[in-house]
Structure 1
Amino acid sequence: MPNQYFRFKQFTVHQEACAMKVCTDACLQGAYTAAYLRGSDVRRVLDIGTGTGLLSLMLAQELPDTVFNAVELDTAAAGQAAANFEASPWSERLSVMIADARELPVTEAYDFIITNPPFYEAALKSSDKLRNQAMHTTTLDYRALLQVIAAQLRPEGAFSVLLPYSVFDGFRELAAAEGYLPEKILHVKQSENHDRFRTIGIFRRNAGMAAVDTIAIRDTGHQQYTAAFTALLKPYYLYLT
């Protein structure tokens, strides 16, 4: 059974009510995105499909002047995120809405959007309805996600997305049709001798040629975190120094 909580250096994520638990690639997205935003003038961030609230918490740690609004469709997960937010040092800057992202009112546009969306559009589904909702595009496919982003994001804003490597190029084409191009791309490998399995993309309108990098989580012996991974996750992971 997965741990019911995940303790970071400055906050703890409880996850017993969430279908999708804390995972390494999501932590990497949070750290990579926080590094991209650090020192920026981003003031309002929308977290679509927040789950445990992990991504908002990671960004809140590094962006002291930013307010985070998270949206989550599943009531239990939204309650868990709210509790994690309340227990964090940044509770006054974190809030969660129980809603379908497609039905969010368009009021003041956001400076930045982060999302770890459902992954598997065509994959076989399990018997667990909530896990399907969290992992498969049963409620918010990539086209719909991009439409939400276009409605909620300021014209000069940007967004971060975590996807399987195998579908990233298809998503990139859909994003281009909405006017968004990748500014930064990070391909992720489990280890130095594995193939790429995830991709983090940061998109904006009028982006130039994308800066493309690859990071391995562990070394060739699968025993140690790589130096690049350690540098990114050191502000968060409890035992990285």
Structure 2
Amino acid sequence: MRSKHITSVAAATTIGEALERVNAALEASPVYFGHGTDNPWDEAVQLVLWCAGLPADSDDRVLGLPLTAAQSARAAELLQRRIQDRVPLPYLTGEAWFAGLRWRCDTRAIIPRSPIAELLRAGYQPWYQGPGPARVLDLCCGGGCIGLATAWYLPDAEVDLIDLDADALALAAVNARELGVEGRVRILQSDLFTAVQGERYDIIVTNPPYVDVTDLAAMPAEYAHEPALALGSGADGLDLTRRILAQAAGHLQPHGLLVLEVGNSWEALEEAFPQLPFTWVEFAHGGHGVCVLTAAELRESRPAAGL
């Protein structure tokens, strides 16, 4: 059954009217914002502009533009699914924005949202101290947004994408073609480093599954639409991270850098490995739980850390 808010969206005749009505409906609903937006207004903007076929960065000059009956009906349909079924908006529109780039998005992979976007846009500076990175590995790449955006912003780098999930890698291949970087990208199905034995990288960047069992059980309904394989990783969320830390040094150049995201599990990581000198990145645009370790730090600390 449609609420009065959703019915009003179907009757909107301008972009401005639709925005106000979608925003009101989202504000009155139990939806969770965490898949590209963090508030109802920004989500309303994305939904309405997509339905109207307008650029995502349109300004206030579009507010008075007319909406066709079909466009208003489409907005109401998406809004109903967003509220009733708690489907994240990027899965409804089939697109997401990450690191200033547009991505194909569907349930084969989690929705792009890592704060690592800020790092890769800066060429991993000031943390990476080696020569211009020639080889980068995106480990546990999912739909490929981190590694592919890295290829975009580092046009001289060759980038490998690795994931265990063949479906996620198929989506990554689509994104590589659409971004036009497929000539510098290698996509490999692998259990972590298995497929790249003996190979070394200037930068390894990884956003592995890291949600612990407590957080996993309490996650909003929207997350149930994402692949479970990409979220949870054992009781403390660190099962995969432990394996990555044990193996990463052997795949980094002497000047190399590991960039690792563990989100809310960062305290558990510090507690599990007090001997590792994690440097936690502070982001200008929000986000947390991303650390960096140099190859030297990893190699020197591994024996004390039991890795």
| TM-score, length basis structure 1 | 0.68
In structure 2, the gaps of 5 or more residues are 1-86, 298-307
Answer 1 or 2: which has greater strand percent.
1
Identical-residue share of aligned pairs (%): 20
Alignment correspondent of 1:144: 243
Alignment partners' CA distance in 1, 2:121 and 2:129: 10
State which structure, 1 or 2, has the greater radius of gyration over its C-alpha atoms. Answer: 2
For residue 262 of structure 2, give the secondary structure of its aligned residue in structure 1.
strand
Change (3 A) 1:146 1:58: same
Instruction: Tell me the alpha carbon deviations over residues 24-78 of structure 1, each in whole angstroms, 9 at most, x when there is no partner.
Output: 5353354356344599421111111111211112211221211000101111110
Change (3 A) 1:173 1:149: farther
Alignment partners' CA distance in 2, 1:73 and 1:84: 18
For residue 148 of structure 1, give the secondary structure of its aligned residue in structure 2.
helix
For residue 246 of structure 2, give the secondary structure of its aligned residue in structure 1.
helix
Are 2:181 and 1:90 equivalent residues in the alignment?
Answer: yes
Instruction: Tell me the alpha carbon deviations over residues 186-217 of structure 1, each in whole angstroms, 9 at most, x when there is no partner.
Output: 245987xxxxx62221211445xxxxxxxxxx
- Any conservation in 2 of the 1:57–1:85 contact (CA below 8 Å)? yes
Partner letter of residue 132 of structure 1? A
Alignment partners' CA distance in 1, 2:249 and 2:205: 13
Instruction: Tell me the alpha carbon deviations over residues 7-27 of structure 1, each in whole angstroms, 9 at most, x when there is no partner.
Output: 568743111143410115353
Matching residue within 193, 197, 204 for 2:294:
204
| Larger deviation, residues 128-137 vs 152-161 | 128-137
Change (3 A) 1:10 1:120: closer
Change (3 A) 1:63 1:114: same
Describe how 1:1-241 pairs up with structure 2 within 5 A: 1=87, 2-3=89-90, 4-7=94-97, 11-23=101-113, 25-31=115-121, 34-36=124-126, 37=128, 40-123=131-214, 124-125=216-217, 131-138=227-234, 140-164=239-263, 166-172=264-270, 181-182=277-278, 184-187=279-282, 198-206=288-296
Higher relative contact order (CA 8 A, sep 6+): 1
Partner letter of residue 154 of structure 2? L
- Any conservation in 2 of the 1:34–1:62 contact (CA below 8 Å)? no
**Structure 1 residue 134: deviation in Å?**
0.4
Alignment correspondent of 1:218: none
In structure 1, the gaps of 5 or more residues are 192-196, 208-241
Alignment partners' CA distance in 2, 1:67 and 1:173: 35
| TM-score, length basis structure 2 | 0.55
Aligned length: 198
**Structure 1 residue 162: deviation in Å?**
1.7
Change (3 A) 1:87 1:203: same
Aligned-pair Cα RMSD in Å: 3.3
